[in-house]
A and B are shown apart, each in its own frame.
Chain A
Amino acid sequence: AQTVTQSQPEMSVQEAETVTLSCTYDTSESDYYLFWYKQPPSRQMILVIRQEAYKQQNATENRFSVNFQKAAKSFSLKISDSQLGDAAMYFCALTPAVSQGAQKLVFGQGTRLTINP
């Protein structure tokens, strides 16, 4: 079984500053994928960033980057130069890699991020 834990229910940051959202996980799988999804008030789930567990290099997407610590089972999201549009619920998620068929995402509880102007 897989579990994902986000220990920060809420975070806030000043516009233009940097914030880090924490995520830890547990899995017995040797190969898996980790994700951060963003859910703004519109409730649309938007993929922010994706990390393949067998890749040691941390994924980056523009202002978003992760710190992936495989041994510690930690996967934090860093948002640089925070913008008002970054305000949303952020969900960390994990899925085991399977050769074919469905891969179920296991989500954390979410972190609500507020951006202060």
Chain B
Amino acid sequence: DTAVSQTPKYLVTQMGNDKSIKCEQNLGHDTMYWYKQDSKKFLKIMFSYNNKELIINETVPNRFSPKSPDKAHLNLHINSLELGDSAVYFCASSNRDRAGEQFFGPGTRLTVL
């Protein structure tokens, strides 16, 4: 019954590696998001897709590449990981019916060593 799910929940990796985080929502929403929460708990949007189309792309290094194969999935691929990429990454989804209201996944804690 999970509404927004993310895998993995924890990811520990070495600097320079490439990694992916997957997100799936079963709510039938048409818009999905990636947010980053830093060590001070500050949350900031990174990307958003609406019906598989990139709508929001904040000033994020191009080492981060989102991919939306369909409306229910939004994955985040990160190349050449750096220490500063360590954070919790949240996926979220929303629908026009409840404008503005976003449902969040459980988060993925990424640690870069």
Decide: A100 near B96, CB < 8 A? Known: A43-B106, A45-B90. Answer: yes
Which of A12-20, A77-85, A105-113 contacts its partner?
Answer: A105-113
B13 at the interface (CB under 8 A from A): no
| Interface residues on chain B, size class | 20 to 34
Question: What does the 1/0 interface line of B78-103 toward A look like (CB < 8 Å)?
Answer: 00000000001010101010011111
Q: Are B43 and A101 in contact (CB under 8 A)?
A: no
Residue A33 at the chain B interface, CB threshold 8 Å: yes
Give residues 40-98 of B contacting A (CB, 8 Å): 40-45, 48-50, 55-56, 58, 88, 90, 92, 94, 96
Q: List 16 A-B contacts (CB under 8 A).
A: A32-B100, A33-B100, A43-B106, A44-B106, A45-B90, A47-B101, A47-B103, A97-B99, A101-B31, A102-B33, A103-B102, A104-B33, A104-B45, A105-B100, A107-B44, A109-B41
Residues of A within 8 A of B35 (CB): 105
A105 near B45 with CB under 8 A, answer yes
- For chain A, the count of residues having a C-beta within 8 Å of the partner chain is 27
Chain B CB within 10 Å — which of A39, A46, A50 has the most?
A39
Contacting pair B99 A103 (CB below 8 A): yes
Cα separation A103 to B96 with both chains bound (whole Å) = 10
The DSSP consensus for interface residues of chain B is strand
- Which of these, A35, A46, A102, contacts B50 with CB under 8 Å? A102
Most chain A beta-carbon neighbours within 10 Å: one of B40, B50, B100:
B100
B83 → chain A closest CB, angstroms? 21
A25 close to chain B: CB less than 8 A: no
Q: Are B107 and A43 in contact (CB under 8 A)?
A: yes
